Amino acid sequence: MWAVGQILNARDEFRYSLDENGELIKWDMISPSYTDFNPETEHFVKFVTEYSNDLYDFCARVEIDKETHKMGCGFIPNQPKNVYDISCMPWVSYEALTLHVDAGGPCLFPVVLWGKYFEEGEKTMMPVTMNINHAVCDGFHLGRFFNELQDYLNNL
């Protein structure tokens, strides 16, 4: 989640949104809006953790937020607007997946999903999907994101 945030925050095309008047804006920083699964209740809670460029600071924030919301269910109210949506589906691996997000209007923020990892020869593989709005991104930007994410994770 942190590596994805590093790449998304480094590129203008991923930080666009619409303000309350429907005007295009570009955020200085976007934070992950994500779900956390409680295996005891089998419920999900969705919240935002403020992004940090510092990996250890960000991970500490995630742990605090997960603990704060661990018994929640559904969307935590009053979430910030400067977000990207990110989730995982660790139960299945996939080759193709279509995402549809209803944000109550045009959805300009990126939506990233990853699935169950698996071993293929000497490599560990994991499917990653990203949904973008063609109004602010194109295939070039999407391709660059995936190449940068692969490079970033290879050198982490």
- Tokens for 106, please give them: 């045009």
Determine how many CB atoms are found less than 10 A away from the CB of residue 87: 19
Neighbours of 116 (CB within 10 A): 14
Residue range 22-31, pLDDT digits in tens: 899 999 999 9
Q: What is the pLDDT of residues 15-57, one digit of tens each?
A: 999 888 989 999 999 999 999 998 888 899 999 999 999 999 9
- Residue-range domains of the chain with CATH: 2-154 (3.30.559.10)
The model carries a pTM of: 0.89
Question: Active site residue: 43, 100, 134, 141, which one?
Answer: 134
Q: Is 31 helix (H, G, I), strand (E, B) or coil?
A: strand
Residue 102 pLDDT: 62
- Please say if the pLDDT value at position 144 is more than 90: yes
pLDDT tens figures, 77-108: 888 999 999 999 888 988 877 766 666 667 88
- pLDDT score for 72: 86
- Interhelix angle for 2-10 vs 55-69, to 10°? 120
Alpha-carbon gap, residue 109 to 115, rounded angstroms? 20
CA 93/CA 56 separation, integer angstroms: 28
69 is catalytic: no
